[in-house]
Amino acid sequence: MQPEDVRSFRERVIARRGTIDGYDITVGGAQRWEEEKKQRAYMESIAAEGVTWWHEYVPPDVGDFEVQRKQIERGPLRID
């Protein structure tokens, strides 16, 4: 999803509801990128268009229990 896609979606929501207040737009469902700076820039660009939540996919076959624990413990990639 690109920033212009988010903008278009947000505009359709506003057209139907009259407002975006109280409405969250979430994007994600993908694994964290190798290039964190590139992903952070992408997230900032879609946030500027109205995305309020990003969710990361952690596949069940990412590794053993300790690998999964470390991935979860690092927490979400934040832009604030």
Spatial distance between the Cα atoms of 31 and 57, rounded to a whole number of angstroms:
5
Out of 8-17, 29-38, 62-71, the most confident range is 8-17
> Residue 60 — very low, low, confident or very high, per pLDDT cuts 50/70/90?
confident
Whether residue 8 contacts residue 36, with contact meaning beta carbons closer than 8 Å, is answered with no
Q: What angle do CA 6, 11, 12 make, to 5 degrees?
A: 100
pTM attached to this predicted model: 0.79
Distance (Å, whole) CA 51 – CA 23: 10
Q: Which of 50, 58, 63 is nearest to 32 (CA)?
A: 58
Domain ranges for the chain: 3-73
**pLDDT > 80? residue 63:** no
